[in-house]
Structure 1
Amino acid sequence: MSRDWRRSKMNIKELLNRSDQFLAEKGIESSRLDAEVLMADLLDMERINLYVKYDYPLKSNEIDTYREMIKKRAQRLPVAYITEKKEFMSLEFMVKEGVLIPRPETENLVETVIEYCREQEIENPQIIDVGTGSGAIAVSLAHYLDDAKVVGVDLSPEAIKVARQNMEKHELSERMSILKSDLLSEFIKREIKGIDIVVSNPPYISEAEMEDLAPEVKKEPKTALKAGEDGLEYYRRLIPEAEKVLKNEGRIFLEIGYQQAEAVTDLFGEKWTEVEVEKDYSKNDRIVSALFKPDAEA
């Protein structure tokens, strides 16, 4: 970085302009936005407030801390890992390296489950979120469905720790729990049945697609992204396991890659009906859901 960064006196506007330029030179397309998000985090204020405080003189320790944040971003570390937080469903979640960052498109999955529970008037729905990661899906469902009982499961110790912290942050411990489990194996072992809903945003990126991911995405845990040669490994495992825990006419909701709808729907056998595909806000196929109805088996 240039000597300008070492100046003892700079205001917000000056430092933002230098940061924007520096990040752009490093190939960061969202250079201005990222610079502002990091500055707002540093000063613990809303990003919009930066504009009315452009002339605020930064202290030398603030400049030094911000400089380190910008250096990390220039190395393609995701902004959420630098700030250790990410907004999802209008809620703030803590995230850390080693845990998947919640995606905006996954909000479609949560909204679909919430709408389904309300339309079907399911009382005290019992929901399992498989591969909970930061707990974003599980916490959001418990927050917006105030009578739901939600269990988030993951195999990663890092994810379990972060998910529990987010559960406690949003004061949902009475209706939520986080469990270590390889998909639904713990529920099957304990012979837990009668679950209303299984929801999951599983890994669904193929080995070939992994090579083409953005540098930032490659900083996230591969175990939360990669799903075998064709990207369908976890769907093949999860759908049969869901049959062992769902109640009759329970439903599964799965996030999918935008080209996977046909391949995933083909995995549902005769015990499933009402297999549906829904699009996200970008009009891409994003959610597959199906009703478990073993009585419909021929």
Structure 2
Amino acid sequence: MNLKAAIAFVKRALQGLNTDIETESSILVSYVCSIRKEDIFKDPEKELSSDEIELLEQLVLQRKGNTPLHYLIGNKDFYGRNYRLNESVLIPRPETEELCWHAIKYASILRKPFKVLDIGTGSGVIAITLAAELSQARIDAIDISSEAIIVAKENAKNLLNRDQDRINFYNIGIENYNPQNQYDIIISNPPYIPIGEGSELMPEVKKEPASALFAGEDGLDIYKKIYKKLPQLTTSQARVYLEIHSPNLGQNINLVRKMLPSWQIVTYKDLQGRDRILEIIRAQQ
């Protein structure tokens, strides 16, 4: 089997999946052969080894069983950097890149240095992105999953080198987190899907960690914990950036108004036009 035939094999095998088969076929073949995607088209007659063919067949079988592509290849690009992933962490989405952009934009006007808290860090994409983009940021990142913390630390080591010292990772939930310091920016992409919507998810999304997807009957469990902690955790100039489940926008706003009545709320849509980001601005004392 040569590269051209391998691409054709993957395309045929993945017919029926709700995905970009053209892109996935080139990603899988390039991963198996340890080459760049563009190399496939430079030398399409290059033969795969028997081991490469066997691995490709195994990966295609798993992909047909709805294992997400990025778990199979073990990595995902985010904000211009490549992160290692496994099944203990959520696969980062483009909407979370937009979340980071809003925080980075605000950070440009802060007095430096400043402190950031990333709640539910997962693979570390938010904390590492902010550390890489904001040289004056000092970041604490927390997660209830010890497995996720291991992945995040590995990504920080691989992507930040000496700058990894500007991030502290803690295996703890927000409800039990009581630091001595306060934060100028708090950012989070928490679990936000109501349990009752689980059956509506795409099959491959169901393969991701339930603890990173679901948050109680209304999808608001983690937001309630975050809002309760904000007065304790924030400086006078603080802003909070939260990714949200679009259908829960109204409920989230009502929660903020109830629990933090004097704080300001700004909402942003994602590139698909869906309500996706809450910016919560601490009331001036």
Shift of 1:184: 5.2
Shift of 1:18: 1.3
For 2:5, give the aligned amino acid: E
Secondary structure of 2:255's match?
A: coil
Are 1:39 and 2:22 an aligned pair?
Answer: no
Q: Which residue of 1 aligns with 2:242?
A: 254
For 1:261, give the aligned amino acid: L
For residues 173 and 262 of structure 2, the distance between their equivalents in structure 1, rounded to whole angstroms, comes to 23
Secondary structure of 2:53's match?
A: helix
Q: Which residue of 1 aligns with 2:201?
A: 213
Are 1:236 and 2:224 an aligned pair?
Answer: yes
For 2:165, give the aligned amino acid: E
Secondary structure of 1:126's match?
A: strand
For 2:208, give the aligned amino acid: E
Are 1:30 and 2:20 an aligned pair?
Answer: yes
Q: Which residue of 1 aligns with 2:174?
A: 183
The unaligned stretches of length 5 or more in structure 1 are 1-9
For residues 264 and 282 of structure 1, the distance between their equivalents in structure 2, rounded to whole angstroms, comes to 20
Q: Which residue of 1 aligns with 2:71?
A: 81
Q: Are 1:28 and 1:74, in contact at CA under 8 Å, matched by a contact in 2?
A: no
For residues 58 and 180 of structure 1, the distance between their equivalents in structure 2, rounded to whole angstroms, comes to 43
For residues 43 and 114 of structure 2, the distance between their equivalents in structure 1, rounded to whole angstroms, comes to 47
Q: TM-score, normalised by structure 2?
A: 0.94
Q: Are 2:238 and 2:282, in contact at CA under 8 Å, matched by a contact in 1?
A: yes
Please give the residue correspondences for 1:135-154 in structure 2 after superposition, counting only pairs within 5 Å: 135-154=124-143
Are 1:124 and 2:117 an aligned pair?
Answer: no
Shift of 1:53: 2.0
Q: Are 1:76 and 1:215, in contact at CA under 8 Å, matched by a contact in 2?
A: yes
Secondary structure of 2:165's match?
A: coil
For 1:138, give the aligned amino acid: A
For 2:145, give the aligned amino acid: S
Shift of 1:270: 4.4
For 1:231, give the aligned amino acid: G
For residues 130 and 273 of structure 1, the distance between their equivalents in structure 2, rounded to whole angstroms, comes to 20
Secondary structure of 2:70's match?
A: helix
For 1:88, give the aligned amino acid: F
Are 1:56 and 2:65 an aligned pair?
Answer: no
Shift of 1:242: 1.9
For residues 45 and 97 of structure 2, the distance between their equivalents in structure 1, rounded to whole angstroms, comes to 37
Q: Are 2:6 and 2:29, in contact at CA under 8 Å, matched by a contact in 1?
A: no
Are 1:173 and 2:161 an aligned pair?
Answer: no
- After TM superposition, the runs of 4+ consecutive aligned structure 1 residues lying more than 6 A away are none
The unaligned stretches of length 5 or more in structure 2 are none
RMSD: 1.5
For residues 127 and 29 of structure 1, the distance between their equivalents in structure 2, rounded to whole angstroms, comes to 36
1:203-249 deviation digits (Å, cap 9, x = unpaired): 00011211100110000010100011111111111111122111113
